[in-house]
A and B are shown apart, each in its own frame.
Chain A
Amino acid sequence: MTERKMLLADAPRYAQVEKARAMTPDALIDVLLAANLRGRGGAGFPMGRKASLIDRKSAKPKYLVVNADESEPGAFKDRQVIAEQPHKLIEGCLITAHAIESMDVFIYIRGEYVAEYEILQAAVDEARATGVFGDIGVTVYRGAGAYICGEETALLDSLEGRRGQPRPRPPFPPVQGLYNAPTQINNVCTIATVPSILELGAAEFAKIGSESSPGTAVFSISGNVVRPGNYELELGTPMRELIYDLAGGIPDGRELKAVIPGGSSVPALTPDQIDVPLDYDSLAALGTFFGAASLIVVDDRCCMVQLALRSTKFYMHESCGKCTPCREGTRWMVQLLEKIEAGDAELSDVDLLRSVCDRILGKSLCALGDFAVYPVASYMKHWADEFVAHVEHGGCPFQGESTLEGIVAPSDAHRHEVVA
């Protein structure tokens, strides 16, 4: 089991749309259910089940929204799929729209992806000109710089022209989503996989990858590896194969220290855990997440307190401010981590940091606060001695030699004024 191109492979354009439209929406949803395609955006919820939850009898319009707001640190796979296979994504949209009886598709792409927006918009225009859309409208919507808009209900608020802040659930989007109408939301890679399901048939598709996680995924791998990049693999491929065989292992003769397997928001793994198969259930069994299929590889030059601090500054910066535990808690985490890194902390501050983490976890409308806590809690668990060493030595034991030494975050330098 190793590389297998599906999302990133060329195929005849829109060949599967006709096949899908020859089926009733119910029959098409049955195919999606049988394929057991799990959402590639992070949560891993079966895509067909999402489609089956759409209230198709509703008098309101039904909407399909594609989440192309890829912003998870470590993730850059959607960007490549959009740039290289925009028509596969659009084809997936048309098939899914038929399943949920939707006439309106919105693709929400992060604002920073300017080149990818241009490619996608050109592909939409090109496809529309062929007539394959029929009466379906496909609109590409550009974000404006906010990580939280990758959270599905924040994305809907943003698409409605508001500050992108998560909504309370229930109601869930299949019942009440965009403009309060039934809405299906899926990640780019999820929707771009749908044409392959039609092409192969659900039974054949389900045989690829591992039993509980069928198909392929594009894995982003970055950080301290020789050949970082995107690799499309069957699910269930051992992590070790990706890190060492495909990405070439750790450069400069250094040692592997940690792998953050799903983007910066998930618990890190230690070097003795990297034989894990890359699929949802195997990673969950180790107490972490498949997440955005994005591995950040960390070598032994990195101070874990600095890694925790830089990670937490990101989540503090991106907290939308709606829920107090996340808004305030991420700030407290940063203050405590700064104190520990500076050597001004006592051991009780390390315990206080654990306590703050506990008070954030699970206490907000969305998971952003949890995303700040998961990685930091794992660093404190697996590399507890490093946190203690900062206290006992009165400063960073790496003595200025850590790879993250002095790294400036946007929250450290947030001014825009003209100097003159």
Chain B
Amino acid sequence: MTAFADEVRGIAADFPDARSATLPALRLAQEKHGWLPPEAFHEVADALGLTPAYCQAVASFYDMYHLEPVGKHLVEVCTNLSCALVGAQRVVDAFEEELGVRAGETTEDGEVTFRTVECLGGCGYATVVAVDHRYRHDVKPDDVAAIVAEVRR
């Protein structure tokens, strides 16, 4: 048994039904590979006694699983109502300019994937930007160059 399978079965032991470990196992696989390549679904399926197709079906439902390769870092800007009302699009524009990619794309060097996301739950601190899932609050277009420099460091 692989170390990965060991870890997944350890998680599964916390639940009355091992199937509950599907989401955590996919997260672990993604941490290992950087995204979810086809072999990741086999690894998760083998560890939990499921099929790879089932694991892929679950992964494709949720926004945080990457079914295609992404950059080393992930920069996400919320453009839902509260952020949009106070200028989120100008923050998006600033990131596109600074990174040289459009929302949904990855920089040529593979360092940064940039995307817009739905509400992150920081509406009172708009615009919210998540850098590798760590929130930055009250981001203004003028803050963007420094955030990009920090990510690229």
Contact = CB atoms under 8 A, between A and B. Distances in A.
Interface of A: 61, 70-76, 78-79, 104, 110-115, 137, 139, 141-147, 158-164, 179, 220-224, 228-230, 260, 264, 294, 296, 298-299, 302, 307, 310-311, 314, 317-318, 320, 403-410, 412-420
Contacts of A74: 81-82, 119, 123
Contacts of A142: 23-24, 27
A55 B86 CA distance: 48
Nearest to A404: B84
A73 B101 contact: no
A311 to B, nearest CB: 6
28 contacts: A70-B121, A75-B121, A75-B123, A111-B64, A112-B120, A113-B121, A115-B135, A143-B23, A144-B26, A144-B65, A146-B61, A160-B20, A220-B124, A221-B124, A223-B82, A224-B86, A264-B119, A294-B123, A310-B80, A311-B81, A314-B80, A318-B118, A404-B85, A413-B102, A415-B105, A416-B68, A416-B115, A419-B106
Contacts of A414: 104
Nearest to B123: A222
Contacts of B23: 141-144, 158, 161
B122 A76 contact: yes
Given A113-B121, A413-B116, A408 B92 contact: yes
Contact of A71 (B71, B88, B119): B119
Nearest to B74: A416
Interface string B57-77: 110011111111111000000
A146 B63 contact: yes
Interface of A is mostly: loop
Interface of B: 14-17, 19-24, 26-27, 57-58, 61-71, 79-82, 84-89, 92, 101-110, 113, 115-126, 130, 133-135
A404 B66 CA distance: 29
Contacts of A403: 84-87
A317 B123 contact: no
Contacts of A405: 89
B81 A307 contact: yes
Given A147-B119, A314-B80, A406-B89, 16 more contacts: A73-B81, A104-B16, A112-B64, A113-B121, A114-B134, A137-B14, A139-B15, A142-B23, A161-B17, A228-B126, A318-B118, A403-B85, A403-B86, A404-B85, A412-B116, A416-B106
Given A142-B24, A144-B26, A416 B113 contact: yes
A119 B117 CA distance: 24
Contacts of A416: 66-70, 104, 106, 113, 115
B101 A419 contact: yes
A408 B103 contact: yes
Contacts of B80: 73, 264, 310, 314
The 8 closest A-B pairs by CB, nearest first: A145-B63, A161-B22, A222-B123, A144-B62, A145-B64, A413-B104, A222-B82, A161-B19
A160 B80 CA distance: 29
Q: By CB atoms of chain A within 10 A, which of B87, B108, B120, B124 has the most?
A: B124
A169 to B, nearest CB: 21
A277 to B, nearest CB: 22
A409 B82 contact: no
Nearest to A75: B121
A73 B63 contact: no
B115 A410 contact: yes
Nearest to A227: B124
A419 B107 contact: yes
Contacts of B119: 71-75, 147, 264, 314
Contacts of A110: 121
A322 B83 CA distance: 29
A261 to B, nearest CB: 13
Contacts of A71: 118-119, 121
Nearest to B88: A407
Contacts of B134: 114-115
A110 B120 CA distance: 10
Contacts of B66: 416
Contacts of A113: 121
Contacts of A420: 108-110
